[in-house]
């Protein structure tokens, strides 16, 4: 390969989009069972409320931290059986994306990667609290991202294109 070809190859690598998962970790974790042990003696008829949130923070160079927060409140009748929350985080190397692609990657693609880890962590936590397994359905983060972009556009908020 000639020097000219080497330079062209390096130049293409410098401008090509790059995505790499660097680390996945639990940032925060909590579990409360305010009515135990009495709750274990009641008939189990749970109602589940799930709240999820994502946030991202640029780190040095082209690294980004994305945090997916899942908060679950389970009631048995009118009483809170347990509250469980996990902040599942990841560090991602993301380079050479336009603003719209970067926004979508951070707002949908990265949370899609983190969700199975967060779901498993919550399930394990709930089972260790002596409650039945918590089976959370998959979440379509692409659809949630599209809804958020639509909402921002309707409100006149600046959106990333």
Q: Go through the domains of the chain in sequence order and give each one's CATH number.
A: 17-155 (3.10.420.10)
Q: Is 88 helix (H, G, I), strand (E, B) or coil?
A: strand
**How far is Cα 136 from Cα 143, in angstroms, rounded to an integer?**
17
Maximum Cα–Cα distance across the chain: 77
* Contact between 62 and 16 (Cβ < 8 Å): no
Q: What residues are paired with 76 via a beta bridge?
A: 46, 79
Question: What is the per-residue pLDDT across 17-63, written as a single tens digit (0 to 9) for each?
Answer: 999 999 999 999 999 999 999 999 999 999 999 999 999 999 999 99
Residue 119: its H or E element: helix 110-128
Neighbours of 157 (CB within 10 A): 10
Q: For residue 16, what is the DSSP state?
A: S
The string of pLDDT tens digits covering residues 55-93 is 999 999 999 999 999 999 999 999 999 999 999 999 999
Q: What is the three-class DSSP state of 161?
A: coil
Helix, strand or coil, per DSSP, at residue 108: helix
Q: What local confidence, expressed as pLDDT, does residue 4 receive?
A: 59
pLDDT tens-place string over residues 93-121: 999 999 999 999 999 999 999 999 999 99
Give the C-alpha separation, 145 to 158, whole Å: 15
Sheet with 63-76: strands ordered across:
18-32, 79-95, 63-76, 46-58
Count CB neighbours of 110 within 10 A: 26
Q: What is the per-residue pLDDT across 31-40, written as a single tens digit (0 to 9) for each?
A: 999 999 999 9
pLDDT band with cut points at 50, 70 and 90 for residue 3: low
Percent residues over pLDDT 90 in the chain? 81
């Amino acid at each position: 390969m000639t020097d000219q070809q080497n330079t062209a190859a390096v130049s293409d690598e410098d401008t090509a989009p790059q995505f790499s998962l660097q680390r996945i970790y639990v940032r925060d974790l909590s579990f409360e069972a305010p009515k135990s042990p009495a709750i274990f003696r009641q008939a189990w008829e749970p109602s589940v409320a799930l709240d999820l949130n994502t946030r991202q923070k640029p780190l040095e160079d082209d690294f980004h931290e994305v945090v997916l927060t899942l908060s679950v409140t389970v009631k048995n009748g009118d009483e809170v059986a347990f509250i469980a929350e996990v902040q599942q985080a990841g560090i991602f190397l993301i380079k050479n994306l336009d603003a719209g692609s970067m926004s979508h990657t951070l707002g949908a693609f990265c949370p899609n990667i983190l969700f199975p880890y967060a779901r498993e962590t919550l399930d394990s936590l709930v089972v260790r609290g002596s409650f039945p397994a918590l089976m959370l359905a998959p979440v379509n983060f692409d659809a949630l991202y599209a809804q958020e972009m639509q909402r921002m556009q309707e409100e006149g908020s600046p959106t990333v294109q």
